[in-house]
Amino acid sequence: MTPVRWLLTGAGGMVGRDLGDALRSCGEDLVACTREDLDITTPRMINAVVEETRPAIIVNCAAYTKVDAAEENEGIANAVNGSAVEFLAYAADAAGALLVQISTDFVFDGAKRIPYEINDQTNPCSVYGRSKLLGEFAASHAEKHLVIRTSWLFGVHGPNFVEAIRNQILKGTTPLRVVNDQRGRPTYTPHLANAIIRSARLAHDSPDARGMLHYADEGECTWFDFAKAIVEESGATTDVRPVTTDEFPRPATRPPYSVLSTERYERITGVQPESWREGLREYLAARG
């Protein structure tokens, strides 16, 4: 496959670093921009970088991801997750590039009890979810675009649930109280990176592969189930006890059910999602 030039925003983040590593290992022509290199809320900077680099594919991994803090910082969340994506869409069109936008299961309210399909009604119940939905709409303004929703991310290059549980284990905290009434699909960011590359290559070449798709690792669980798996794979004996969301209040409302259907991803790529449990083992081996 002939390499094309990729422009990666948010290259210093958890997803961005794994995606950058994966692209380099594939021998792709990559321009990786961290937040210090490119502030995506500044159209002038976006236009200058895109004009200079002339990418074929732009992947936006830059995002405001502090779900609870977003409740008090709606303007910032909307600027980064929403308005900035509009600037990227215009720049992508000017370069004739494909824009790939990473989105979230939090665009859904969790009222369903069967996996969410790509065309299901969105109804975010938090500022973060609404800001990411704005980003989906903004990305769709690019003539060539691909929006990839994903969920419950964990990777070695950023704060995440696995590390939070590991820290509690190391502190000797017991029992651990973890919510058992929120259900989703954990996703290891190197697995997501491979899925982004696979999907973006297809979308670059074919309009039929563009639009919306979901990628999440195989297997659904609650946060309580996830925590138990982390304890088990760590070889710890920490007691993990289930609690309800009401017993563990947070500023931002979470969807109680946000399992994503990956049917379109599987159909377009011909590839099954990888296992989050395998991802967890890889994560723990990497962290040591």
Question: For residue 43, what are the CA distances in angstroms to 51, 84, 92, 229?
Answer: 12, 8, 12, 44
pLDDT band of residue 3 (cuts 50, 70, 90) is confident
**21 — pLDDT class (breaks 50, 70, 90):** very high
Residue 81 tokens, joined: 């997750």
β-partners of residue 263 are none
- Calpha distance 61→84 (Å, rounded): 12
Q: Where are the domains of the chain?
A: 5-159+185-219+258-276
| Contact present, 218 and 276 (Cβ < 8 Å) | yes
Please state the CATH superfamily assignment of the domain spanning residues 5-159+185-219+258-276 in this structure: NAD(P)-binding Rossmann-like Domain (3.40.50.720)
128 included as an active-site residue: yes
Burial 243-267 (b: 16+ CB within 10 A, else e): beeeeeeeebbbbbbbbbbbebbee
Q: Using CB atoms within 10 A of its CB, is residue 119 exposed (0-12), middle (13-18) or buried (19+)? A: exposed
87-119 pLDDT, tens digit per residue, is: 999 999 999 999 999 999 999 999 999 999 999
Please write the tens of the pLDDT for every residue from 252-285.
999 999 999 999 999 999 999 999 999 999 999 9
**Of 116, 128, 257, 265, catalytic:** 128
Is residue 206 within 8 Å of 269, Cβ to Cβ? no
